[in-house]
Structures are given as C-alpha cells and as structure tokens.
Amino acid sequence: MSNQPTDINYSDEHIRTLDWKEHIRRRPGMYIGKLGDGTSPDDGIYILIKEVLDNSIDEYMMGYGKLIDVTIGDGQVNIRDYGRGIPLGKLADVASKMNTGAKYDSKAFKKSVGLNGVGIKAVNALSSSFSIRSVREGDARTVSFAAGEETADVMESNLADKNGTQVTFTADGSVFGPYAYNLEFVEPMIRNYTYLNAGLQIRLNGQTFVSKNGLLDLLNENLGETPLYPPIHLRNGDIEIAMTHGTGYGESYYSFVNGQHTTQGGTHQGAFREAVVKTVREFCRKDFDALDIRASIIAAVSVKVEEPLFESQTKTKLGSRDMGPEGPTIRQAVGDFLKAQLDNYLHKNPETANILLQKIQEAEKERKAISGIQKKAREFAKKVSLHNRKLRDCKVHFNDAKAEKADQTMIFITEGDSASGSITKSRDVATQAVFSLRGKPLNTFGLTKRVVYENEEFNLLQAALNIEEDMENLRYNKVVIATDADVDGMHIRLLLITFFIQFFPDIIRQGHLFILQTPLFRVRNKKETRYCYTDEERQQAIGVLGPNPEITRFKGLGEISPDEFRAFINENIRLEKVRMTKEDPVHDLLEFYMGKNTPERQDFIIDNLKIEADYVEEEEGLEKAS
C-alpha cells in the first residue's frame, strides 16, 4: 500500500464547522442510536418521543404537572404537559441552541434524566416539522421549525390556557425513510413512566395510564408466572425496589435511573445484585453461593441520582458511581438500603423468608448435582478448538465496555457448512461472529439444566456466548438465529428459541435474541437486481423491472453467494427481535409445539396442511408465470 499523500492542496478551505442541526442530521446515530422504520422498539422514532417525554417527566419530578397528554397519528406526535412552562424568552434557544437548558442548574432540576442539553435539539433537527409552545400565566409563545430551521415565532397574551409546554413534531422521512409508529412499543414506555412516578397520569391517544403502587405494579403486571412469594416492595426517597422469585432459570431485572429505563443495567443494577446476596447471607447466617440466591430472581430497581452519567447518548446503561456530588456511592446507598429494609421485611414476614430459604436450597442442590458435569463441560469447551470447529469469532466483544462498536457486535447461529461459509466470508470480522451448528439441536423442552452441559452443541454455544454464570459477561449484543426459510430451518429456529427460553430467558428479556431476515427472491433484468423479502415485494419488483425478469427463489442460505450475502448483513441487515411479554402464553405454546402431545399436534398439522399446500401451489404457479 502506498503512503504517498493524496491531496497536496490541504489548506484552510478544507476545514469545515458544521452547525448544530447539520451535524445531527449527518450523524443521527450519535444522538438517537439507530434510525429504523418503527418495526423495533429501539428504533430512533421512539427515541424522539422519549426525549420529549423526559422533559415533561422532569417537570413532574420537580412537583409540577400531574398530567401529560400524548397523541400519535399519521406520523405526527404531540406531547403536552401541564408543568411550569419553559420561560418564554428562552423558548427558541432550548430547541435550537446546543448545551442550553435549565438542567445545568441543579437547583431547578436536581435529579433529571437529561443533562447535556441535546435531546430536544435532536428531535428538532430530525423533524420535517417541529413546534414548541410554552404557556406561562396567560402568555404564550410558539416557535416553529423545519429540519431545524426556524420558520415562525408567535406571541400570544391574555389566554385562559393552563401553564405547560407542548411539543409537536413529525420525524423527517428524508432521514428515517418510510416509517410507522407501532403503539405496542410506545405503550410499555408510557407504562414505565407511570410506574416510576406514582400518581402521574399519562394519556396516550385518550387512554389513561396511572400507577398507585409504583414498581410493585410493574412487577405484578409483568410477571409471566405465579411467583413463589408475594413481591416485596421497599422504598425511600431515592431508592425503590420490588422483588420476588419465580421457578425458571436466570435473573430478570427492570432497572431505572431518574425514570429512565436502563435496559442494559449499570452500576445501580450491579449494586442491587451484590447487596441482595450480602443481605440474604447475613439474614440466613449462611454463606450461600451468589448464583443460588439470585437464581430465578425477578426484580425492579429504581434510583434517583444527581447528575447521572450514562454510557451512551440513548441512556440505556448507567455509568455513575455516586448518588450525587456530595452523596454516598450508589453501591453503598443501595447496600445500606437493603441491609436495613430487606432484613427488616424478612424478620417481619417469616413465611416469605422460609419460602426464599427453600428456593435457595433447591437451587444449591441442583447446582451441586451437576457441578461435576459442569467442570467436565468447561474443560471440554477449553480443549475443543472452538475457533476452528464451531466459532469464527470477531475482534470486538459486547462485554468490552470501552471498546468502540461494542454495541454493534453480533453472533450468527447457523446450520450447515454452506450457510456458515457464506456468512463467514461476508461478515465484518470486527463485530460479527459465526457459530456453526451440526444438524438439528436437541429439543430441550421439559429438560433440566443438566442438558446444557451434557449436550456438546449447547455446551459449546453457552461457552461461545460466555453466559454460563452471568449475563453481564455476554460477548455479543445481538444473538442472531440464521436458518433457512424452509421447514427444517423453521424447526431449528424453534429448537434454539426453546433452548433460550428454557435456560437463558434473560437473552430474550433483555432484547438480545434476533431472527435474521434474508430475501426469498432475487428479481433481475440486464440493468437492475432487486432482492425481495416477501411475495408482495416480489410482485412490486416485477412491476418495476418489466415483463419476463429472471426470478430466483432462495430456499437456503447456502444458495446465496458470499458477495450477495454481504448486502444482507451490513448496515442494511434486517433483524426481527424475539420478544416475550406477560401476555405471551409461553409455557402453553412450548407444551403444544415442543411437548409430547403428538396426537394433538398431528391433528393441528392435518387441519392446516391444505392451507399451506394451496399457498405453495399458488407460489409455484406465480413463479412459472413470471
């Protein structure tokens, strides 16, 4: 490679300063994470809603405005709070000047989510239309923008309107592309705000959400199973915790800082996990293993911190170590809180304490029963040449907290040499790993965790993911199931999902498990090639490319060449997140599809076989016609 300079005229005119809105529009990922089209709950259009709502929530936390109205329709979002209203003289500045806001003054907003003065500006810059209106004591001012450029500024007086701030925006299609809001993703966000702010009412398109009991309501409404004991609810001014134990594997947490849902946890969640172990050990006067104490725990944790520091602009993981500039550490505060309140609760509720003790003892018994198998499995995983036989690793890992692109890491779980070969040759070696299955994995439904260590495939898979003891060590942000779009591929997909639900449900609960979407068709003529993921897209491609294009139906990943595959796993990758909510009858579904009720399942298949056969016949006829 030549090191000769490519531009000898490097001079003053090559240095540019982007204004605030141009920088946001050119680098939106720095401010709102990924863009997306609204099909995933972490898409940028939902971050825009959150950024505006955070400001209204901060008003409520300061004691002003018990109602927030949210209206979403036809791509437009309208959010109206009834707080103090932004000071009119600075209304335009807070929406269009970086590093401008009241939250720098801790006297006005002591425990706020946003401290950098960026959020509302990002919404403004990334909206084709944006207006902000403030009402204060009968006077009002409305400032309007288009893609961050001010278009109007109107003052009003002698109004009867209640104080507060109203923001109306439409996300810019030229930035986001075609998109649509899914209220199923907005509603959990709204519910979380009410759980964290007991007494606050939020109306979403006319439906009112409110919580009287805070995190206790959150836990009760999200439990996917009957808990072993009634949830324990503890709180003081800055810390609130609700916890219980279930019957499954893994640990499940809902953690929050100043009302912000920290989906990736952080120092507060780590402090709780450490403190609950210490408190239970002292109460039981026995040095139980931490894994046994936390096995099957389900907990919600909320802390209020002055000037919180997050590890990303989207605020999904808390990095702060202290409760405030002059306060104790978060670890100390949560530890002292649990030591006093949880210990006191267990002494006052001996029935709950006994159930908890029995649960810990059962977890200990199971762990010891398979400890020998675990040891052999670890040794086997170390001896096996993981990198050569099963895993083509990447250079960056998710648990490298400070590594650049850690959030972009993913591992493809695929089956067959041809499919894994195509992905391996096409991937980004910095952030994308490949794990190759050998044939169909075992159906784990109804089995104990012993199978995780006794089965070679699953033993090596958990070793590759690094999740044997703690989800905090997960090596990839996205665990992607990449199988063929045929019956066998769907079966492998179900077997893998069953495995994760059974033994590592946190991978699903924390939003790490995905299904890779690959094109079903390639439609091309001499001038253009289009890849289609649905039959509807195929029909559209035929209409655009004209009569008699060449149509290829991909029936397996191995049929897609590495050069083609590269286009499907780069920044345009289509991933479908595997989601699990309290409304999903997970156990019943697994029992029916993966259990041993063979006659019932056979009847279901026979009853639905004709529908599938008709579809296949129609599809083949269309291919011949094309």
CA dist 7 → 3, 4, 384 (Å): 12, 9, 50
Residue 167 lies in a domain: yes
CA dist 133 → 54, 78, 101, 126 (Å): 16, 11, 16, 18
In whole angstroms, give the CA distance from residue 483 to residue 62: 51
- List pLDDT tens digits, range 295-331: 889 999 999 887 777 776 556 777 778 787 777 898 9
Q: Clarify whether residues 178 and 224 are in a common domain.
A: no
Kindly tell me if the per-residue pLDDT of 99 is higher than 60.
no
Kindly tell me if the per-residue pLDDT of 241 is higher than 60.
yes
User: Averaged over 8-18, what is the pLDDT?
Assistant: 57
- List pLDDT tens digits, range 501-537: 888 888 888 889 999 988 889 999 989 999 888 888 9
At 42, the pLDDT band (50, 70, 90 cuts) reads confident
Last residue of a domain, one of 162, 181, 209: 209
Residues 6 or more apart whose CB falls under 8 angstroms from that of 9 comprise: none
Q: Over the chain, what is the mean pLDDT?
A: 83
At 558, the pLDDT band (50, 70, 90 cuts) reads confident
**Residue with tokens 């909510």, as numbered in its chain:** 581
Share of the chain above pLDDT 70, in %: 85
Give the CATH number, domain containing residue 357. Answer: 3.30.230.10
Give me the number of domains the chain comprises.
4
Residue 529 lies in a domain: no
22-26, 210-214, 447-451: the lowest-pLDDT one: 22-26
Q: Clarify whether residues 185 and 133 are in a common domain.
A: yes
Q: Quick one: pLDDT at residue 615?
A: 44
Last residue of a domain, one of 368, 398, 424: 368
Q: Clarify whether residues 35 and 184 are in a common domain.
A: yes
Kindly tell me if the per-residue pLDDT of 623 is higher than 60.
no
Q: Quick one: pLDDT at residue 555?
A: 75
- List pLDDT tens digits, range 115-145: 445 688 889 889 999 999 999 999 999 999 9
Kindly tell me if the per-residue pLDDT of 584 is higher than 80.
no
Kindly tell me if the per-residue pLDDT of 106 is higher than 80.
no
User: Averaged over 10-29, what is the pLDDT?
Assistant: 67
State the distance between the two ends of the chain, measured CA to CA, in whole angstroms.
48
Share of the chain above pLDDT 90, in %: 36
Phi, psi of 410, rounded to the nearest 5 degrees: -155, 155
Q: Quick one: pLDDT at residue 347?
A: 95
Question: Following DSSP, what letter does each residue of 25-77 receive, concatenated?
Answer: HH-THHHHS----SSSTTSHHHHHHHHHHHHHHHHHHTT--SEEEEEEETTEE
Q: Quick one: pLDDT at residue 624?
A: 46
In whole angstroms, give the CA distance from residue 187 to residue 184: 6
Q: Quick one: pLDDT at residue 277?
A: 95
Q: Quick one: pLDDT at residue 366?
A: 86
Kindly tell me if the per-residue pLDDT of 95 is higher than 80.
yes
pTM over 0.85: no
Q: Clarify whether residues 582 and 626 are in a common domain.
A: no
Residue 14 lies in a domain: no
Q: Quick one: pLDDT at residue 98?
A: 66
Q: Clarify whether residues 315 and 326 are in a common domain.
A: yes
Give strand pairing partners of 150: 145
Residues 6 or more apart whose CB falls under 8 angstroms from that of 471 comprise: 250, 251, 504, 506, 507, 510
6-15, 266-275, 336-345: the lowest-pLDDT one: 6-15
User: Averaged over 382-396, what is the pLDDT?
Assistant: 72
Q: Quick one: pLDDT at residue 325?
A: 74
User: Averaged over 454-477, what is the pLDDT?
Assistant: 87
Q: Clarify whether residues 352 and 421 are in a common domain.
A: no
Kindly tell me if the per-residue pLDDT of 389 is higher than 50.
yes
Q: Quick one: pLDDT at residue 608?
A: 61
Find out whether 413 and 457 touch, Cβ atoms under 8 Å. no
User: Averaged over 100-127, what is the pLDDT?
Assistant: 62
Kindly tell me if the per-residue pLDDT of 17 is higher than 60.
no
Determine the structural domain holding residue 395 and report its residue range: 371-518+559-595
Residue 552 lies in a domain: no
H or E segment at 459? helix 456-465
Q: Clarify whether residues 496 and 421 are in a common domain.
A: yes
Give the CATH number, domain containing residue 144. Answer: 3.30.565.10
User: Averaged over 339-361, what is the pLDDT?
Assistant: 95
Q: Quick one: pLDDT at residue 326?
A: 77
Residue 259 lies in a domain: yes
CA dist 256 → 189, 239, 315, 525 (Å): 12, 10, 10, 53
- List pLDDT tens digits, range 393-420: 899 998 886 778 888 899 999 987 777 8
Q: Quick one: pLDDT at residue 247?
A: 85
Q: Quick one: pLDDT at residue 309?
A: 77
Last residue of a domain, one of 209, 232, 256: 209
At 618, the pLDDT band (50, 70, 90 cuts) reads very low
